[in-house]
Amino acid sequence: MLATPGAIRSVRATTHAAAIAFRADPRLSGGRLVLDDGLSQTIATLAGAGISVNSLWSVHRELAEGKLVRVLPDYWVDDQSALWLVYPKSNVLTAKVRIFIDFLMDRIGNAPAWRAP
């Protein structure tokens, strides 16, 4: 935890924090919330922070369960994103790498769940 509530303003103070606690307050600040990862965006959106732009692959379950809804279905951000698995070039892959590749191909390989009809 941070030593003082004001420490959140210092990047250096938050670098090694295991957790940052915020006072629960239902009032919205009216400020803009900027997040740099999909999980944080999903959590904030589910908590009612507003509209977010997320990858379909990261929120497909929430969409299918009705927890999130698409509000601008005709508006698209670059949908050419891809997931890349990068590993050193080698004639022989370790068992761990081969198993991980097989796992990813099984889960998201040919027919990703987020693109299923």
pLDDT in tens, the chain (117 residues): 445 555 555 545 545 555 555 555 555 556 778 888 888 889 989 988 888 888 877 888 899 999 999 888 887 766 555 667 787 787 888 899 889 888 888 877 665 555 554
Give the Cα separation of 57 and 75 in Å (integer): 17
Give the Cα separation of 58 and 102 in Å (integer): 20
Count of all residues that appear for the chain in the document: 117
Q: Tell me the pTM.
A: 0.50
Radius of gyration of the chain (CA): 19
Residue 55: count of CB within 10 angstroms of its CB: 15
Contact 70, 50 (CB under 8 A): no
The pLDDT, as a whole number, for residue 6 is 54
**Of 43, 47, 68, the residue nearest 56 (C-alpha):** 68
